[in-house]
Amino acid sequence: MRVLNLSGVRITGYELVFDLSQLPDIVVTDGTTPKNYINFISHHFPTVHIGSIEIPTVDYTVKSEDELIDFLERYARMGIRQRLSQLYNITYKVKENERVPFVVYHGYTFYLYERLKKILLHPLKSWVVIFGNVGVGKLSLVRSILGNNYLDIFNISERHRMGFRVGESPEEINDVVINVNLLQGPRELKQIMDFLYSRDYQAIFLVEGTKIPEMLNTIPSFYVPSLTERTVKERLLILEHMLRRLEGEIRKNVEVEESFLRVYFNYPWPKNLSELENALKFALSLDEGTLRAQNLPDHIKRLSGIE
């Protein structure tokens, strides 16, 4: 087990690492660690603190050095999946096998979720732009707030098939999700914006990539970060979230090998959450019980240096 020790306690018997880039399994802090650093660390990595502390992102607290040694011994004996599951339960205050109702967000992306939730559910119906690279979960984020009551493709005419209407029935529709990348240019975007404004619909514009069309620059925009831009802790929570959902489909518990975790943090995931989900399904179709690097798709193994 890899430990980053930022406390004044002497820790032996584990692989000690000396900076965050070495991806510790657990970070140890105490009263000698600056509080602002504990806040930063605990947002990014699983953290155990010696003594009481009011920082909510600290995952575990122990009262003394002896309790810390006991904790580390127990933590080292846990399998990777057991650690993931425990972290998820603590972070979201849920029971074993429960899932939070939205795609997992933590740190900045949890702030993003809360901010968008306030805006999209407010009666004033402000327009927003949500942008980010392919597969980061932009539509999933909207669905987690507005629900899954998506009707058919939204139409102005036969040519304008560019989004989804949200609501139980056509009479109740007041939210429209627009996939800007399906449009043919600024002129078409202008027509659609005029139509939506005339109907007093709430418009949610989804933009693929990091460049927002100039016509949308006056609308408040929110960036959804790529998988590799997210903290280590959030990536661990995302993995556990996906595994809990997939376990519900295959009705079997899944373990995680160290080899998979190394690939998970080293592979760039250009298609983000969508690529990760497909890779998990592929690997688990070859071995439903264990997530192994050897069972990942060939292109991921090749880029990760796995023969």
pLDDT digits (tens, 9 = 90+) for 155-172: 555 445 555 555 555 555
The domain boundary residue, chosen from 200, 226, 252:
226
Q: Does one domain contain both 192 and 235? A: no
**What percentage of residues in the chain have a pLDDT greater than 90?**
66
Q: Does one domain contain both 286 and 214? A: no
CATH number for the domain spanning 152: value is 3.40.50
Residue 89 lies in a domain: no
What are the structure tokens assigned to 25, written together? 């399994």
**Domain total for the chain?**
3
pLDDT for position 152: 44
For 244, the domain range is: 230-303
Determine the Cα–Cα distance for residues 56 and 186; give it in Å rounded to an integer: 46
Q: Is the pLDDT of residue 288 over 90?
A: no
Q: Does one domain contain both 207 and 255? A: no
Residue 86 lies in a domain: no
What are the structure tokens assigned to 62, written together? 């122990």
pLDDT for position 126: 92
pLDDT for position 29: 98
- Nearest 5°: the CA angle 287, 290, 295 is 55
pLDDT for position 163: 57
Residue 154 lies in a domain: yes
Residue 96 lies in a domain: no
For 295-306, what is each residue's pLDDT tens digit? 999 999 998 887
Q: Which residue, among 110, 106, 111, 116, has the nearest Cα to 205 in the 3D structure?
A: 116
Long-range contacts of 9-12 (CB under 8 A, 24+ apart): 9/50, 9/65, 9/68, 11/68, 11/72
Residue 92 lies in a domain: no
Q: Is the pLDDT of residue 3 over 60?
A: yes
For 178-196, what is each residue's pLDDT tens digit? 888 888 889 888 988 888 8
Q: Which residue has the higher pLDDT, 104 or 118?
A: 118
pLDDT for position 307: 64
Q: Does one domain contain both 131 and 215? A: yes
Q: Does one domain contain both 125 and 222? A: yes
What b/e sequence results for 23-62 when a residue is b if at least 16 CB atoms lie within 10 Å of its CB, and e otherwise? Answer: ebbbbbbbeebeeeebeebbbbbbbbbbeebebebbbbbb
DSSP three-state, residue 165? strand
DSSP three-state, residue 135? coil
pTM: 0.88
